[in-house]
Amino acid sequence: MRGIVLSLLGALMLVLCGPVSPAPAAVAFEGVTSTHAVGMPSANAPWRTLVQGGMETETAFNTWAASAQLAGPIPAGETIELTWVAGRRTPTSCEPITTFVERTSEASHDNTVSIMRMNFPTEEGETPGATPTCLEVSITSRGMLTDRLVGPVRADDAAAAVIGVEASATEHRLDHPKVTDPWRTLESASLRGDVVTGTVQLSATLGGPVPEGQWVSVTWALGRRHPHGCETLVAFSWPNLPQDSSHTMSVERDYDNDDIASEFTCIQASLYTLDTNTTGDIVDGPASPLMADVTVDAAPAAEEFVVAAGRSTPVIVTASSRVGARKGLTVAGRGKDVRAAKTSTGAVEARRERPVVVRVAAERPGRSQLRLTARDVRFDVARSTTRWPVKVRRVEAQRPRPGRYESADGTVGFKVTRDFVVRALRVADVRCEGAATLPTARLPRGVRLPSNGAAARVVRSGDPGLGRGFLGAQLLTTSPTRVVGTLTVATRNCTGSARFAAVRQG
């Protein structure tokens, strides 16, 4: 039998209950430093010294990202050990809260080593609860500590929002349980759900095993506390869930409804048995909001927008979200004599850039600035606005002549077919974060050029070297034999972009 979801959260109930605001919580921490500790570095070789180190965290999902930039490339055959410590400042040291260690013999093209750890437990198996205030980044090579950077860690709760709820119930309601059979009673119940994963996790522990042939159903009800109990706003019911050896029933289900991010204050769980047609037991307990840093961002794929005057030009914009956006973000922008149309990105993975085609309209040639805004409509604070330069050129609306096109250095090449489709676009030596070498990116699909010669397209990556993600290309024809553009890579193994100008060969 399918589970029943009873959504009772309505405007009337919200008015009656009134808002309940959680206590302010810092959900993100960030530290970046280039300050050497006293007596450091202790080696002269560039690859054994540090230029910069950093760490950022997001506590609701216990995600930690760290990086360290070396002064030079790691020689062949050598290995380094990097250590990141986030801790509490004491009069004599940075007392560790969390420590990460990474051994490696490779770094990216700019000599940076980056790591990301998710749901990383402490030695005690629990998520760190203390607030870090200091950062130390160390490098060890050939068994010797050769450099250490020290600096502060700062909290950031500017984009903190309620993303879900967690609750547990252990207190029996007055006059409960009403039965004596252990399997008709509840010992405890819990619930956790959030809009980031789009799931709800439910569990209930009974006083004993359910006899074979008997039918029971558990209801988990979230609500707001009032003088006479817990007023139900959202409820979940599932019948006859299997029990484990401790008589616990558990289930995880998709729940694609934003009401799970409301500010509940209590939970009430009840156990119903079919043979007696009664609710034999009810347990009650507190509910707490889950907080997270929901910062979002949007930026041009290149350092500036290059568009044609007097018309709309498609460009590539990269959008990102710290917690991810399953339903996507919206991107739009305005500036003097320039405007970016409101566009939906599609699903955005947490901390992964998502390229999207945005049309930018400009009135006249010259330079301007575009205030580009990204927004996650689920959260009031999930909005960012950044000014980006715009170069508006007077470009005749035209298509390029069919043929083979290459850049002056040969790193970019593509073909324009007779029906004006750009095919086999490749860009060598893409400078991207996350790659030890400079890869060659190839757009797996063609881009059709309209009569004005400007087009953009985003496609999924099928390149095993680049990894899963997206590739985007924007093209602008500036003469019958010249095309300028940008290729954007946003994949698991590479995040970066390359601007180019290509001319017809022959």
Q: Does any domain span residue 465?
A: yes
Of 249, 264, 292, the residue at which a domain comes to its end is 292
- Tokens read off for 410: 């040969």
Q: Is position 200 within any domain?
A: yes
Cα separation, 266 vs 261, in Å, equals 14
Do 240 and 358 fall within a single domain? no
Task: Supply the pTM of this predicted model.
Answer: 0.69
User: Contact 497/489 with Cβ under 8 angstroms?
Assistant: yes
Q: Whose CA is closest to 434, among 499, 326, 353?
A: 353
Q: Are residues 429 and 441 in the same domain?
A: yes
CATH number at residue 202: 2.60.40
Of 292, 321, 352, which closes a domain? 292
Q: Which residues contact 210 (CB under 8 A, 6 or more apart)?
A: 183, 216, 240, 243
Same-domain status, 285 and 323: no
Q: Both 178 and 81 in a single domain?
A: no
Residue 41 and residue 151 in one domain: yes
Q: Are residues 280 and 192 in the same domain?
A: yes
Which pLDDT score, from 0 to 100, does residue 81 have? 96
Q: What is the pLDDT of residue 89?
A: 84
Q: Is residue 17 part of a domain?
A: no
Q: Based on the domain organization, do 248 and 327 belong to the same domain?
A: no
Instruction: Write down which residue in 292, 315, 344 finishes a domain.
Output: 292
In a shared domain, residues 194 and 232: yes
Question: What single letter denotes the amino acid at residue 258?
Answer: D
Tens of pLDDT along the chain (506 residues) come to 333 333 332 322 222 233 333 334 455 678 899 999 989 999 999 999 999 999 987 655 567 889 999 999 999 999 999 999 988 888 788 889 888 999 999 988 889 998 887 644 443 333 445 568 899 999 999 999 999 999 998 776 556 788 899 999 999 988 899 888 999 999 999 999 998 888 999 999 999 999 998 999 999 999 998 887 899 999 999 998 999 999 999 999 999 888 898 889 999 999 999 888 888 899 999 999 988 888 899 999 888 899 999 999 999 999 999 888 888 999 999 999 999 999 999 999 888 899 999 999 999 999 999 999 999 988 877 787 888 999 999 999 999 999 999 999 999 999 999 999 999 999 987 777 655 566 789 999 999 999 999 999 999 998 887 888 999 999 999 999 999 999 999 998 888 888 999 999 98
- Please tell me whether residue 30 adopts helix, strand or coil conformation: strand
Residue 18 within a domain: no
Number of domains in the chain: 4
- The boundaries of the domain holding residue 48 are 28-156
Q: Annotate 343-375 with b (16+ C-beta within 10 A) or e (fewer).
A: bebeebbbbbbbbbbbbbbbeeeeebbbebbbb
CA separation for the pair 24, 289 (Å, rounded): 11
In DSSP terms, which residues pair with 283 in a beta bridge?
A: 172, 269
**Are residues 313 and 307 in contact, defined by beta-carbon separation less than 8 angstroms?**
yes
**Cβ count within 10 A of residue 258:** 16
Question: Which segments of 142-227 are extended strands (E)?
Answer: 144-152, 154-156, 160-169, 171-172, 186-194, 199-206, 216-226
> Is 379 inside any structural domain?
yes
Could you give the strand order of the β-sheet that contains 305-308, starting from the edge strand earlier in sequence? Answer: 296-300, 311-321, 354-362, 338-344, 330-335, 366-375, 383-393, 305-308
Asked whether the beta carbons of 207 and 182 are under 8 A apart, the reply is: yes
User: What is the reported pLDDT for 437?
Assistant: 61
- Same domain flag for 101 and 139: yes
The confidence score (pLDDT) of residue 242 equals: 92
Q: In 129-206, where does DSSP find H-type helix?
A: none
126 in a structural domain: yes
333 and 347 assigned to the same domain: yes
Residue 5, in any domain of the structure = no
